[in-house]
Amino acid sequence: MSSAIREWLNLTVRWFHVFAGILWVGQTYYFTWLDGQFHKAEERAADGQLSTVWMVHSGGFYAVEKQKSLGVSPGQIRWFRWEALATWLSGMILLLLVYYLSSGLTDPDVREISQGRAIAISLAFLAGGWLIYDMAIRLFLGKSEAAFAVFAFLLTAAVSWGLLHVFSARAAYLHVGALFGTIMTLNVWMRILPAQRKMIAAASTGQKLDARLGAQAKLRSKHNTFMAVPVVFLMISNHFPVATYGNTHSWEILAALILMGWLAAKLIRSA
């Protein structure tokens, strides 16, 4: 593949990746914010009263209500799922183009390792990271937000340190972001969407909704909002090598970027 074709392909995929990511993160934060507004409204409203959130945008007024039952046929429900898959797939294509098919994945000054072995470690890292996260949530850490936050930060910091001793510094930063993106995507497709399908199936037949399904989907969506900001920070870090991955304190800076992203997400969610 010529350098010109590779560059155009890289640009096209990168543009698509950013565009899909804007759609995904935007609707994720919008619904998270909306859910928070409903929670506040429900606390002020009388028991059993449906809450309404009023908004103004683009020259119009909008009133949104949160329903406790399904008032339309399942075919009329708008799903938000393809944005996540499109973002992740385009990101994996970029990972292939920029790192797997080039020399950017490894650095002989960090560790002498073959390209094939480095790719295997990369894929195992992404898959293993999801499995550990999902297992921790399903076993016990999902019951305590504080415990899970501490666990997630310490584990992420430790893994980041390890990656910086295996891959090139730039690739290590990117892989932490890729891990978060992978977890976010699998949260949508393997945990949130299946729970929503069961909720719709029960509601369409008049069955009582299982509150655990809604709680599960809400928890995973909440986690996605906290991972979204660090992912953006880590993507941008590639353009500032002196301040981030090229710095002598690259590991500490990476950990700080993640923590700052989580704090920023908390401020956005509470707005």
In this predicted model, what pLDDT tens digit does every residue of 30-64 receive, in sequence order?
888 888 888 777 777 655 566 788 889 888 998 88
pLDDT at 271: 64
Secondary structure of the chain in the HEC alphabet? CCHHHHHHHHHHHHHHHHHHHHHHHHHHHHHHHHHHHHHHHHHHCCCCCCCEEEEEECCEEEEEECCCCCCCCHHHCCCCCHHHHHHHHHHHHHHHHHHHCCCCCCCCCCCCCCHHHHHHHHHHHHHHHHHHHHHHHHHCHHHCHHHHHHHHHHHHHHHHHHHCCCCCHHHHHHHHHHHHHHHHHHHHHHHHHHHHHHHHHHHHCCCCCCHHHHHHHHHHHHHHHHHHHHHHHHHHHCCCCCCCCCCCCHHHHHHHHHHHHHHHHHHHHCC
Structure token pair of residue 198: 């069961």
pLDDT at 103: 85
Which structural domain range is residue 151 located in? Answer: 3-269
Q: What is the mean pLDDT of residues 195-201?
A: 86
pLDDT at 202: 83
pLDDT at 78: 80
In this predicted model, what pLDDT tens digit does every residue of 102-132 receive, in sequence order?
888 999 999 999 999 999 999 999 999 999 9
Q: What is the mean pLDDT of residues 174-195?
A: 94
Rounded (5°) CA angle 169-175-177? 115
Q: What is the mean pLDDT of residues 143-158?
A: 88
Closest CA to 246 of 120, 107, 118, 121: 107
pLDDT at 50: 62
How many other CB atoms sit within 10 Å of the CB of residue 80? 16
Residue with tokens 């991955």: 245
Provide the domain count of the chain.
1
pLDDT-based confidence at residue 89 (cuts at 50, 70, 90): very high
Contacts of residue 258, Cβ cutoff 8 Å, sequence gap at least 6 = 153, 156, 157, 160, 176, 230, 233
pLDDT > 70: percent of the chain: 96
Closest CA to 113 of 173, 166, 184: 166
In this predicted model, what pLDDT tens digit does every residue of 220-240 receive, in sequence order?
998 999 999 999 889 888 889
pLDDT at 6: 80
